[in-house]
Structure 1
């Protein structure tokens, strides 16, 4: 009889603790941040997506957007299946929006939808991040005027300056809600700074 009673008490405690763990898990998921990566459908820079993704997917729900739902292909062959197109992006759904670089990012330089996403994200004080040549998207959206920013070299520096940005030349630059980075060598630090800003 004693053994049966002990078994019942033990079973109850196990079930009770499982319920608490489940409740905590659900609670923490409810409060997870939402992050959007915007990548070019062709020739996004692999590391500039991979490294921040590895960091942020541990602490946030990640959505990947592109100009098409077709599998996106990186400059070095990485394949990524977008979840949504940029046309379906609702800025209000995300805490951070990240434009990934690579030569393919030029497809968004004059893309009205991409520029509007950047503008709305800034207006709503979302974390707005861009790496490599992608800060040009932010510059052309008009959100870097009077702000410190960095970018890949050459003509892209001129693009930032022309649109009123204060070019600093740092690997990673943070100015308020805006985080920019200058290339693949800064990808990990870029990801860590976004993760810090999400806390």
Structure 2
């Protein structure tokens, strides 16, 4: 049976950080579901495209509509093998939702793999699950990682770090690195050629 992966998303999730991993994980045979509090299967979230164009921080443009394929209200940790938390602006407000925090804590308590990219570790920090963990994130999230008891991994923008069952990366340029590490943590082998 294919491993089941859950994505927690919200409006203005980073476009590449939800679209590319969702499709890549599905392409290797995993069952991938995406949920958003307050929305149902078939509803969409708006995405944002963040880019590095020479300013002091990233720029933001409106992205695609990303269709949800599962119901947040019916989501149970035991129905999934792992969790993915994309970045963008969504984690900033999703971390205020007690049900989202409880779901993240449930994946940690159950000893299931978690991948968090860019601003995704804001949810991990808010859930109080970073103590003693090495965690990458978008550099602007470093204070949150450290205040939550984590060790911030100051790595290249296209790098990723694995600490036990936690795979984190600073931004979408790291997709090849974090997806490969996440597949290893999941025990998924991709056949080449």
Do the structures match in fold with TM over 0.5? yes
Could you say which residue in structure 2 is the equivalent of 1:33? 3
Decide which structure has greater helix share: 1
> What secondary structure is seen at the aligned counterpart in 1 of 2:139?
coil
Please identify runs of 4+ aligned residues in structure 1 that moved more than 4 A: none
Is the aligned partner of 1:74 residue 2:41?
no
Could you say which residue in structure 1 is the equivalent of 2:58? none
Preserved contact between residue 95 and residue 123 of structure 2 (Cα < 8 Å): yes
Preserved contact between residue 112 and residue 165 of structure 2 (Cα < 8 Å): yes
Question: How far did 1:55 drift?
Answer: 2.1
2:182 to 176, 194, 199: 194
1:166 to 142, 151, 154: 151
Could you say which residue in structure 2 is the equivalent of 1:103? 89
Could you say which residue in structure 2 is the equivalent of 1:22? none
> What secondary structure is seen at the aligned counterpart in 1 of 2:12?
strand
Preserved contact between residue 52 and residue 192 of structure 1 (Cα < 8 Å): no
> What secondary structure is seen at the aligned counterpart in 1 of 2:18?
helix
Could you say which residue in structure 2 is the equivalent of 1:16? none
Question: Aligned partners of 1:192, 1:49: CA distance in 2, in Å?
Answer: 16
> What secondary structure is seen at the aligned counterpart in 2 of 1:73?
strand
Question: Aligned partners of 2:154, 2:94: CA distance in 1, in Å?
Answer: 22
Preserved contact between residue 91 and residue 122 of structure 2 (Cα < 8 Å): no
May I ask how many residue pairs the two structures share in their alignment?
Answer: 167
Q: For structure 2, list consecutive stretches of 5 or more residues without a partner in the other structure.
A: 50-62, 188-193
> What secondary structure is seen at the aligned counterpart in 1 of 2:137?
coil
Which has more radius of gyration? 1
Question: How far did 1:75 drift?
Answer: 0.6
Question: How far did 1:140 drift?
Answer: 1.4
Question: How far did 1:38 drift?
Answer: 1.1
Is the aligned partner of 1:46 residue 2:24?
no
TM-score (norm 1): 0.79
Preserved contact between residue 160 and residue 168 of structure 2 (Cα < 8 Å): yes
TM-score (norm 2): 0.81
CA 1:80/1:44 → structure 2, altered by over 3 Å: closer, same or farther?
same
Question: Aligned partners of 1:99, 1:168: CA distance in 2, in Å?
Answer: 17
Question: How far did 1:187 drift?
Answer: 2.4
Question: Aligned partners of 1:43, 1:176: CA distance in 2, in Å?
Answer: 29
